[in-house]
Structure 1
Amino acid sequence: MADPCKAREVLAIVGDKWALLVVRMLKDGPRRFTELKRSVEGISQRMLTVTLRDLERDGIVTRRVRNVMPPHVEYELTPMGRTLREATAPLLEWSIAHLPLIDAARAAYDDR
């Protein structure tokens, strides 16, 4: 039986905002690095590189290099990555739907 404390490692993926946003952006199929960079607002090139490497190492995404000039690198969700996307989609949708309320609550708190 797996060590329940090792679940922290998986939760670190789920709790990483960049990882979840990248997984979300890959929901419709393979995307090139530059497409991901443009679609994940606020992420730096270095952070996107680190995030993609971590997701690849964990078996969440695959990386494919197309041998053309210049080389094209595409990233795609693995079957396990698709299940992560399905599991976290409600959390991301909740976040988007409640963002105005959270912003208002923060403003009210900061004004006290």
Structure 2
Amino acid sequence: MTEAPQWVDEHGRVLYDVFAKDCTSRPTLEHVTGRWGTLAMVALRDGAVRFNALRRRIDGVSEKMLAQTLQSLERDGLVHREAQATIPPRVDYSLTPLGRKTADKLHDLIELVESQMPEVEAARLRYDEAKRA
């Protein structure tokens, strides 16, 4: 007999359904797939990074948005924050094992999107031309 998935209880009830408005998985999905969450997680795939280095890597993100994004991802168990009591203080961010699995999937998605951009740009041109006509 096969074991039921973790998101189904012993009575067969679904515990997590991202399509349900009150499901606790929905905010996590938003944290991961939001513009800054996706970029932060994929940027952390290469290892621990200091806050300012991460901010430089993610062009266009404000300090406030990056801090909020990292806090959300840390709360969700995807990012680890390590503060060292040095002068000046040093804070490094890295992926947890769960964050690593998630970031790998996001990286695959980014590669897919980037590889399809010529087709996307052609579709945009066709759409815009049809709208002008």
Q: TM-score range by the shorter chain?
A: 0.7 to 0.9
Look up the match of 1:93.
111
Unmatched runs of 5 consecutive residues or more in structure 1: none
Look up the match of 1:53.
71
Look up the match of 1:25.
43
TM-score (norm 1): 0.88
Q: Distance in 1 between matches of 2:69 and 2:122?
A: 31
Cα deviation, 1:20-72, whole Å, max 9, x if unaligned, reads: 11000100110000111110111111111111111111111011111221111
Pick the aligned partner of 1:13 from 31, 52, 71: 31
Q: Which moved more, 1:12-21 or 1:39-48?
A: 12-21
Look up the match of 2:90.
72
Look up the match of 1:41.
59
Higher relative contact order (CA 8 A, sep 6+): 1
Task: Report the Cα offset of residue 10 of structure 1.
Answer: 3.1
Matched positions, count: 112
| Higher helix residue share | 1
TM-score (norm 2): 0.75
Task: Report the Cα offset of residue 87 of structure 1.
Answer: 2.3
% identity of equivalent residues: 38
Work out which of the two has the higher radius of gyration on C-alpha atoms and give 1 or 2.
2
Provide the secondary structure at the position in 2 that maps to 1:27. helix
Unmatched runs of 5 consecutive residues or more in structure 2: 1-8, 10-14
